Amino acid sequence: MGVQDLIRAIKRQETPATRALYRLGKRVKSFEVPAPKALVEPLYYAQQSVRNALDEVARAAWNQPLFRARCASVGERLSLIGGLPYIYGHLAIHIGDDCTISGRTSLVASKVFDQPVLRIGDRTYVGYQVTISAGREVTIGNDVKIANGVFIADNPGHPLDPVQRRTQAVGPEDLRPVHIGDDVWLGTNVVVLPGVTIGDGTVVGAGAVVTKDLPPRVLAAGNPARVVRALAEGERPEDA
């Protein structure tokens, strides 16, 4: 019996011997060293403290200097969280003051124009695994909150025609700038498609796909995103 045959027989538990080996394997996989809470809990916090300290050193001495060098302009008090954002292509990146950007963000330029532009305003937050694809121009205002997993693009990525998709990129006519106003909140996994303008103060619910313009100060949700209602002055997130 070969090794693969033995593994298969153990998984199937076909005989008393293979059943015993299967149970032994389960016990081995679930084994852990006894860990008294009073002893191990301080070790956990010590490990976290060391990790956080190393992350801060990497941020200040490596990630942020490299990121600033790659951008066209970056304001004061930038904060990168958890690494160095991935930047692809010749993208002109302009970032305002007091911005926080996840190190797991992807900033991508298409190949249609020589140097597409991404502008991010002051005090804007860009969350974990956000992707922004700019072929011409993507503008994000001040005090914007972009939650985890958001995708923003001013281009469709590929031509609609299947024959063209084999060899050709999208044409200049297919690229339409995206403009996101001040104080916008994009929920988790929101998709913003080419040509969209989102008005100041608007909230877009999690998972929505924004295909058309949204006016200021509304709550929008769904696929495609539609206005649910207007937002009252001073309304809190939990009231929305």
Active site residues: 158
Q: Which of 133, 193, 131 is nearest to 169 (CA)?
A: 133
- CA distances to 55, 111, 147, 167 from 71, rounded to whole Å, are 21, 18, 22, 31
Cis status, amide bond into 215, omega within 30 of 0: no
Residues 6 or more apart whose Cβ sits within 8 Å of residue 178: 137, 138, 139, 152, 153, 154, 192, 194, 195, 196, 197
Q: What are phi and psi of 125, to 5 degrees?
A: -110, 130
